[in-house]
Amino acid sequence: MTKQMTMTPRAWTLILILGCIWGGSFLSNRITLAEVPVMTAVAIRVTGGALALWVWVRIAGLRLPDSRWQIGATLLLGLTNNALPFSLIVWGQQTIDSGLASILNAATAVFTVVLVALVYADEKLTRNRFVGVILGFVGVVTVIGPARLLSFDPSSMAQVAILGSSTSYAVSAVLARHVLKGLRPEVSAALMLTGAAMAMIPLALIYEGPPTLHYSAPVFGALAYLALIATALAYWLYYQILNLAGAGNVSLVTLLVAPVAIVLGAVVYQEALDWHAYVGFVLLALGLMVIDGRLPRKKP
């Protein structure tokens, strides 16, 4: 009988740390946007994260894959896993609160389940997953609010952008199963961030010009946090938890990110979300727990 992955105290500690780190990234995005354009902010984040991970790969003595196809495909995966979703989230946070952005980003797991079921025969949409997906979609609609569904304004488009980032992450999850097979996680993360940097640096220079670097200390701190902590260190932590507790348990971090982002947004920027955002998050959280099989079920 296969031994099941369990949540040890160390795994719980690492998940809490990772949830706080990624929750803080939404606040850092908002701080950065005060002085840095969207594409420049993303370019700095992915470039700094890539450099930090390559240093780790070098220190650890990890090797690149022999297949040029796999290297090229992993670089391209950086577009859907990093460049595009990061850009959509930062663009969306220009007009919506960081807490709301983090709640909508939690839909990533729901979208992933649907896409994976459509592509892979061994990842079927079971009854449990179907119920979880329905709850998740109802949660998303509740978060956005019935009024905004009927009349689009800048904040509505921002919410659509965040959902677009969730879809991009889901597409990456589907592609990664094939592309990253046999790759060390640290190497794949470094390659993906490098691919994202190769796309974002030219775009930022063309459309926004060279960065002025005349930023305030809080903005420099936010940029450093995004690159080194929320990207490089977060990837390392994520894969540590994955090896320690398994894919099902590491998904718990999704439920921790939004509450952290909401609290930080309220404390630093006095953000106050509408009641339907909280109700929507609860529905999303329930959906994720049903998908993961964490809610108790009656045995026949």
pLDDT tens per residue, range 127-136: 888 888 898 8
| Tens digits of residue pLDDT in 136-165 | 889 888 887 766 655 556 678 999 999 999
| Tens digits of residue pLDDT in 208-231 | 999 988 999 999 999 999 999 999
Q: Which residues contact 63 (CB under 8 A, 6 or more apart)?
A: 187
**Alpha-carbon gap, residue 133 to 253, rounded angstroms:** 18
pTM for the whole structure:
0.89
Its sign, for the CA torsion 204, 207, 213, 217, is negative
pLDDT of residue 1: 41
What is the percent of the chain where pLDDT is above 90? 57
| Tens digits of residue pLDDT in 27-82 | 999 999 999 999 999 999 999 999 999 999 999 999 998 899 999 999 999 999 99
Which residue is associated with the tokens 């690159």?
227
Cβ proximity of 116 and 282 under 8 Å: no
